[in-house]
Amino acid sequence: MFIGVPKEIKNHEYRVGLTPESVAELVSHGHNVIVETNAGTGIGADDDAYRAAGAEIAETAADIFANAEMIVKVKEPQAVERAMLREGQILYTYLHLAPDPEQTKDLVDSGAVCIAYETVTDDNGGLPLLKPMSQVAGRMSIQAGAGALEKAKGGLGVLLGGVPGVKPGKVVIIGGGVVGFNAAQMAVGLHADVTILDRNPAVLEKLENHFEASAKVVYSTKAALEEEVTNADLVVGAVLIPGAAAPKLVTRELISKMKPGAVVVDVAIDQGGCFETSKATTHAEPTYVVDDVVHYCVANMPGAVARTSTYALNNVTLPHALAIANNGWKQALADNRHLMNGLNVAHGKVTYKAVADDLGYEFVAPELC
């Protein structure tokens, strides 16, 4: 198969779809890989590294899209990239379609076969291609929140860990999944006052057993959420409904009751965000203020630590890329129901139910494509 890797063009996105090591693996299986020039500079991999791995180097993204049978990316295709997709071409990347009707329409209109990392599943009910980026984003959320709390950046001027004789900052994490767990690990490591909210008894028990007295674990009710959020210095939104738009758990009214200078970090922003006041931001302008509360809503947080993120991502995406390249997308999906769950759009049809339901499309079962 002819596989193409364009340079990511989203604001301050430094990751790349394939590392040189992944390229070498694909080439060893008889596939041809073409990489856009400078696509890997953000992870410290120059064009010569890709050439040494067996790739060809293309001068433009247009060359990639025109020739490749499968496009491997990291972030959702931007408008200029979507315009270059063609009927039957495979797109393998993060998509996050539920809160993005414009992207969904363009992908439907393109006729491309679009496989989303974030909806591929595993035997344990997890999302293995989303997990490593959730781990990165969860850990980064505390770094980002700690920085935003600095007075010069509009925050309260609170040090999360405190110092002897001064209370630590209060961190509230909404959601105890992969993002929430990793955020809690970092916040506990800083010696912050940490509370995690969730509604799943099994998750609550797991968190309680892991963190013991170093973090408080609370069943999430409307009253509990309001109490914790209004007293927090930093709130991390870490809620996920696979493939669907995130629920707006924190209303604007609740935001208005928070401390002036408090910070919210919405890790769920890729799926529309879980704060009613959230809107996607970029690494260039990561924050804005609503009702005196600093909002950090960067939609590609892991892009800031591109090398770590790219290698962690490739560890889980490469096996599926190989299966698709070796067997063709139809056979690869037929052989693996978990990979089939990644098919979101194919030949003008929406094949992921949560996306179809959220955006008003007719759902077509992926087996029928």
E-state strands within 59-110? 70-72, 90-93
**Cβ atoms 265, 145 nearer than 8 A:** yes
Helix (H) or strand (E) holding 345: strand 343-346
Q: How many CA atoms lie within 13 A of 50 on its CB side?
A: 27
Q: Which two tokens stand for residue 142?
A: 């505390």
d(CA 191, CA 218): 19
d(CA 104, CA 359): 9
**In this structure, are strands 113-116 and 343-346 parallel, antiparallel, or unpaired?**
antiparallel
d(CA 284, CA 125): 35
CA 135 to chain centre: 10
Angstrom distances, CA of residue 82 to CA of 9, 78, 109, 355, 365: 12, 6, 10, 18, 23
Structure-derived torsion over alpha carbons of residues 331, 332, 333, 337, reported in degrees to the nearest 10: 120
Catalytic site residues?
Answer: 96, 270
Residue 216: φ, ψ to 5°: -90, 140
Q: Which residues are within 8 A (CB) of 228 and not within 5 positions of it... i.e. 6 or more apart? A: 172, 195, 197, 218
Number of neighbouring beta carbons within 10 Å of residue 37: 16
Q: Facing residues of 3 across strands?
A: 33, 70
d(CA 60, CA 114): 22
DSSP 44: T
